[in-house]
Structure 1
Amino acid sequence: MGLNTKNRCEWCGTNPLYVEYHDNEWGVPLHDDRGLFELLTLEGAQAGLSWLTILRKREHYRNAFHGFDPQKIAGYSENDVQLLLGDSGIVRNRRKIESTVGNARCVLAIQEEFGSFDAFLWSYVHHQPVQNAWRSLTELPARTALSDTISKDLKKRGFNFVGSTICYAFMQAVGMVNDHVVTCFRHEQVKKIARPGD
């Protein structure tokens, strides 16, 4: 089927990279610690930029940041930060790079306390995705009371670049909420993925 033969959430447009992300990843429940850390990092890196810009840099990010292995990133030195600041394949913002290193250390602390980053994050939705039924993109919130709570809790634990809007975008990306509009072909597909036993 071609790009134009399916109803999609309008935000993904027609760029093949964006469409691929929308069709295969966005909103699918994710339970891998590295994957969760990756998307939290990328959502933070996106602040002030377009998500398409970040998607285009994603593979390079994975190479530059050791596949988003929190253990390795937590050990980065100032020299490593300097090298990353010279890397045109990522967003060269010192605060964002340093926050990735600091956030990796926070992930390790959470893994120590809760067993996994996954268990910690998904506890906020009782380990079940929130199934929304938006009819239009204009209905989608930029933040919610729950994203406010997650943001506040992450900040208390030392995370940076985890404002409520970033946290809600992260929740959408990793499937903690199903925010595909009801007319999108992925809405029901993602809903079925989220059901236990399916």
Structure 2
Amino acid sequence: MPDGRSRCGWAGREAGMIAYHDTEWGVPVSDDRIHFEFLVLDSFQAGLSWAVILRKREAFRQAFCELDPVVVSSFNEDDIKRLQGDASIVRNRQKIEATVSNAARFREIQEEFGTFDAFIWSFTGGRTVRNRWRRLGEVPAYTRESELMSKALRARGFRFVGPTICYAYMQGAGIVNDHTTSCFRYEEVNRLARR
């Protein structure tokens, strides 16, 4: 590693991936705007590498009006066509349409629960799941909690929220700590965990 610290194997050597791993991944999220951003990015990541999505992250923010669910939920066909023509983002029409629809569903959850945060953390009882994986190969692709989350979101009309996408979202949003125990961030993130 460039600075000699031990990291999770997926972080690689790319500066953007290392920065994301070292500062964001696994840190518990409570801000609804960040929850929405992570959901959008994880749904666009389906079938692609996370490195590609991180490189386009700022472009996604610009194209989707700072990923404000209120604004995105009001997007119309002209906005969808504009986004399909934007080479700086992933131009998959199904994912773009899902993002607009998901923004509206996101707002419905906010209205029902007060915050999306209150709803989404309920799948782990409001606590961070603190795993103790020694190797990257031990980390599951999905869990019972991510299956339940996926089922609940799909029942509410969300799209591109399968159990694997939900688990990746849970990892990024700090609902689970899946840093390997040898990673320098493992204990740091555990100290930030919701208890």
Please give the TM-score of this superposition, normalised by the length of structure 2.
0.98
Residue number in structure 1 paired with 2:108: 109
Write the letter of the residue equivalent to 2:174: G
**Is it true that 1:54 corresponds to 2:53 in the alignment?**
yes
How large is the Cα RMSD of the aligned pairs? 1.0
Query: 2:28·2:194 contact (CA, 8 Å) conserved in 1?
Result: no
Does structure 1 conserve the Cα–Cα contact (< 8 Å) formed by 2:109 and 2:119? Answer: yes
Give the distance between the partners of 1:194 and 1:147, measured in 2 at CA. Answer: 18
Q: Does 1:35 align with 2:37?
A: no
CA distance in 1, matches of 2:2, 2:112: 44
Asked whether 1:88 is paired with 2:91, we answer no
How far does the alpha carbon of each residue in 1:1-48 deviate from its partner, in whole angstroms, 9 at most, with x for none?
x72410000111111100000000000001111100111111110111
Match of 1:118 in 2: 117
Q: Quick one: distance in 1 between partners of 2:2 and 2:54?
A: 19
TM-score normalised by structure 1 residue count: 0.96
Cα distance per residue 1:136-178 (max 9 Å; x no partner): 0010000111111100000000000000000000000000000
Q: Does 1:144 align with 2:119?
A: no
Aligned equivalents of 1:83 and 1:16: distance in 2? 30
- Which residue identity lines up with residue 111 of structure 1 in the other structure? Q
Query: SS of the residue aligned with 1:5?
Result: coil
Q: Which residue of 2 aligns with 1:183?
A: 182
After TM superposition, the structure 1 = structure 2 runs for residues 62-73 of structure 1, keeping only pairs within 5 Å, are 62-73=61-72
Aligned residue for 2:127? 128
Instruction: Give 5+ residue unaligned stretches, structure 2.
Output: none
For residues 195 and 104 of structure 1, do their structure 2 counterparts lie closer, same or farther at Cα, with a shift above 3 Å needed? closer
Percent identity of paired positions between Structure 1 and Structure 2: 53
Letter in 2 for 1:88: A
Q: Which residue of 2 aligns with 1:11?
A: 10
- Describe the SS at the equivalent of 2:83: helix
Structure 1 consecutive aligned stretches of length 4 or more whose deviation exceeds 6 Å: none
